[in-house]
């Protein structure tokens, strides 16, 4: 057993480095699924994915196949996607509408949207005198221990006890507030469907990379430079001397240098969450932005409008499985599949009440920066695969997170990267600190 082989997992993690087995050992992975992913609050999806009663979406939480479903009373359930009869998966499709009840394809047991047994065919004749009675909870589809919704974002925890969703999210809750507050109607709507990418690496490499401010100007330099060349050429031919904003989304990877990244800051919270500050320059003065500003000011007044669009966030990481870029309504959810295989779901949202042009901006970022069609994503995927290959080798035992180690500023458990040290590896150190706490059980 793992516990005997590895008596103290915390020995694998030092404040500035971790052992490579964290990324490659299948038994450590199993324990991570049990103690982290199947314990904490995991993002399941957005209510707008399941607008009508019976609408469902399947989702993986740790090793557990789950299904998120809209109930007839408007609420939402998150259930294990398993029939209590002989274990058949209830929903074989990724999404759909189950009608009034779930119906198992094997022997037609049916279940209400909250998982409770509705009917067993020929129940009276077949089950009289057996343990299968209507009031036996073993006849129900099992539900996630806890489900909470925050501003339309649905989370589930498979553990009965633990912090509430708000207590768990702490300051990282700003990801959802910032996204929704930017909508004139105060809410967002998912854009169906998402991109799904499977990377050939451990899930933690994805989480570490999301707030690795050191890598963009290196890893994505060639992509950024090529985009910058095209941007300059187009700009030289326009009346305003400017190329459309979408070119800037890519060229920024070349023009935003490491100095600039250093001027941002990471703020690291308990449970492994992190906020990367730095305004993305989303307040250009083009007619589309001005039209949006006008709608927002009419709705909220000038003061509140300035507060909303002035939120200084680039990226929010909700450990262990969510990366949100709220100013551009982007969300990526991480679903570990195995020690060396990780699925990411890449979603984007529409600001309700905002002009179409503002949506096109978020779509452009989605396609140009986060989608599998862009070279940015390909640049990262190649690194993930190469990192995993290197970590699986005997070329070394440790992974280093030493950049700016010892220079973090800690106050009440919150760790900020030092001044002009935005590229500090503080977020990775913080994630590993949380990892140890979770793994200790
Ligand atoms: S396995 Fe579902 S009804 Fe038999
Ligand atoms: Fe990247």
Q: What's the pLDDT tens digit per position in 212-261?
A: 999 999 999 999 999 999 999 999 998 888 888 888 889 988 888 889 88
What does each C-alpha distance from 192 to 174, 180, 229 come to in angstroms?
24, 18, 33
Query: Distance (Å, rounded) from C-alpha 12 to C-alpha 263?
Result: 32
Residue-level pLDDT at 103? 98
Measured between alpha carbons, how far is 342 from 324 in angstroms, rounded to an integer? Answer: 18
How much is the pLDDT for 441?
A: 79
DSSP assignments along 116-156, one per residue: -EEE-TTHHHHHTTSS--TT-GGGSPPBPSEEEEETTEEEE
What spacing in Å lies between the alpha carbon of 152 and ligand 1's midpoint? Answer: 33
Cβ(101)–Cβ(112) below 8 Å: yes
State which ligand 1 atom lies nearest to the alpha carbon of 83.
2
Q: Which runs of consecutive H residues, i.e. helices, occur in 341-411?
A: 356-365, 375-391
Among 79, 83, 111, 115, which residue has the most ligand 1 atoms within 8 Å of its CB, making it the best to mutate? Answer: 83
Q: Which of ligand 1's atoms lies nearest the C-alpha of 90?
A: 2
Q: Residue 5 has what pLDDT? A: 60
Q: What is the pLDDT of residue 238?
A: 87
Task: Pick the residue whose CA is nearest to atom 1 on ligand 1.
Answer: 86
In 306-422, beta strands by DSSP E: 315-318, 322-325, 330-338, 341-351, 398-400, 409-411, 414-416
Pocket test for ligand 1, best of 80, 81, 106, 123 (most atoms within 8 A of CB): 106
**What per-residue confidence (pLDDT) applies to 205?**
98
Q: Give the closest ligand to the alpha carbon of residue 111.
A: 1
The number of beta carbons lying within 10 Å of the beta carbon of residue 207 is: 25
Closest C-alpha residue for ligand 1 atom 4: 107
Q: What architecture does CATH give domain 166-213+264-439?
A: Alpha-Beta Complex (3.90)
Q: Give the dihedral sign, CA 390/395/398/399.
A: negative
Q: What spacing in Å lies between the alpha carbon of 375 and ligand 2's midpoint?
A: 10
Rounded CA separation 25/340 (Å) = 9
What is the spatial distance between Cα 120 and Cα 176, in angstroms, rounded to a whole number?
A: 42
Q: Of 84, 86, 102, 126, which is best to mutate to test ligand 1, by the most ligand atoms within 8 angstroms of its C-beta?
A: 86
Joined tokens for residue 382: 């190649």
Establish whether residue 107 lines the binding site of ligand 1, counting it when its CB lies within 6 angstroms of any ligand atom.
yes
**Residue recorded with tokens 């939402």:** 76
CA–CA separation, 240 and 435 (whole Å): 51
Kindly list the domain boundaries of the chain, sorted by start residue: 44-150, 166-213+264-439
Cα–ligand 1 centroid distance for 58 (angstroms) = 18
Q: Can you read off the two tokens belonging to residue 61?
A: 């939480």
Residue 86 CA, closest ligand 1 atom number: 1
Indicate the pTM of the whole model.
0.95
Nearest-angstrom CA–CA distance, 301 and 72: 37
Average pLDDT, 10 consecutive residues per value, the chain (441 residues): 62 94 96 97 98 98 98 97 98 97 98 97 91 92 98 98 98 97 97 95 97 93 93 90 86 89 94 88 79 96 95 94 96 98 98 96 94 93 96 96 96 94 96 95 79
Is the CB of residue 86 below 6 angstroms from any atom belonging to ligand 1?
A: yes
Residue 138: the pLDDT is: 94
Nearest CA to 20 among 352, 370, 279, 393?
Answer: 393
* Type and span of the H or E element at 95: strand 95-97
Among the bound ligands, the one closest to the CA of 382: 2
Q: Does ligand 1 have an atom closer than 6 angstroms to the CB of 85? A: yes
Contact indicator for 288, 358 with CB cutoff of 8 Å: yes
How many other C-beta atoms are found inside a 10 Å radius of the C-beta of residue 413? Answer: 10
Q: Which residues lie closer than 8 Å to 336 by C-beta, 6 or more apart?
A: 29, 32, 33, 37, 62, 202, 203, 342, 343
Ligand 1 mutation pick, 80, 88, 122, max ligand atoms within 8 A of CB: 88
Q: Is 83 in the pocket of ligand 1 (CB under 6 A)?
A: yes
3-state helix, strand, coil in the chain (%, to 5): 40, 25, 40
Of ligand 1's listed atoms, the one at least distance from the Cα of 87 is 1
Q: What is the dihedral of CA 11, 14, 17, 23, to 10 degrees?
A: 40
Homologous superfamily of the 44-150 domain (CATH): Rieske [2Fe-2S] iron-sulphur domain (2.102.10.10)
Strand order in the sheet with 17-19: 13-14, 17-19, 398-400
Per residue in 18-31, pLDDT (tens digit) is: 999 999 999 999 99
Q: Are 144 and 158 in contact (CB under 8 A)?
A: yes
**Ligand 1 near 41 CB (within 6 A):** no
**Coil, strand or helix: which one is 198?**
strand
């Amino acid at each position: 057993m793992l516990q005997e082989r590895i008596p103290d997992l915390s020995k694998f993690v030092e404040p500035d480095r971790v052992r490579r087995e964290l990324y490659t050992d299948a038994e450590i992975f199993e324990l991570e699924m049990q103690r982290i992913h199947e314990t904490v609050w995991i993002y399941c999806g957005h209510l707008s994915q399941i607008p009508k009663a019976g609408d469902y979406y399947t989702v993986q939480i740790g090793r557990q196949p789950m299904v998120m479903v809209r109930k007839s009373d408007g609420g939402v359930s998150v259930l294990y996607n398993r029939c209590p009869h002989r274990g058949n998966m209830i929903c074989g499709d990724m999404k759909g509408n189950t009608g009034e009840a779930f119906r198992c394809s094997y022997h037609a047991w049916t279940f209400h949207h909250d998982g409770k047994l509705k009917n067993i065919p020929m129940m009276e004749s077949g089950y009289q005198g057996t343990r299968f009675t209507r009031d036996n909870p073993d006849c129900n589809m099992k539900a996630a221990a806890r489900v909470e919704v925050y501003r339309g974002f649905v989370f589930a925890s498979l553990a009965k006890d633990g912090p509430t969703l708000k207590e768990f999210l702490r300051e990282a809750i700003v990801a959802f507030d910032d996204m929704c507050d930017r909508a004139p109607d105060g809410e967002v709507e998912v854009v169906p469907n998402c991109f799904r990418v499977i990377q050939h690496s451990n899930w933690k490499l994805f989480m570490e990379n999301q707030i690795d401010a050191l890598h963009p100007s290196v890893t994505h330099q060639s992509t950024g430079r090529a985009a910058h060349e095209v941007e300059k050429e187009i700009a030289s031919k326009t009346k305003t001397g400017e190329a459309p904003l979408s070119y800037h989304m890519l060229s920024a990877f070349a023009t935003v240098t490491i100095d600039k990244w250093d001027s941002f800051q990471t703020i690291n919270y308990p449970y492994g969450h992190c906020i990367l500050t730095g305004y993305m320059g989303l307040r250009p003065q083009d007619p589309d932005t001005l039209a949006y500003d006008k709608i927002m000011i009419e709705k909220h007044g000038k003061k509140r409008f300035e507060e909303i669009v002035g939120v200084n966030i680039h990226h929010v990481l909700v450990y262990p499985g969510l990366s949100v870029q709220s100013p551009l309504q982007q969300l990526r959810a991480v679903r570990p599949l195995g020690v060396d295989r990780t699925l990411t779901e890449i979603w984007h949202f529409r600001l309700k009440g905002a002009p179409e042009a503002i949506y096109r901006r978020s779509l452009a970022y989605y396609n140009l920066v986060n989608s599998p069609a862009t070279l940015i994503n390909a640049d990262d995927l190649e690194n993930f695969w190469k990192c995993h290959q290197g970590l699986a080798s005997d070329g070394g035992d440790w992974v280093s997170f030493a950049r700016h180690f010892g220079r973090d500023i800690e106050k009440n458990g919150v760790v900020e990267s030092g001044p002009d040290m935005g590229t500090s590896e503080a977020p990775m150190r913080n994630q590993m600190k949380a990892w140890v706490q979770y793994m200790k059980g």
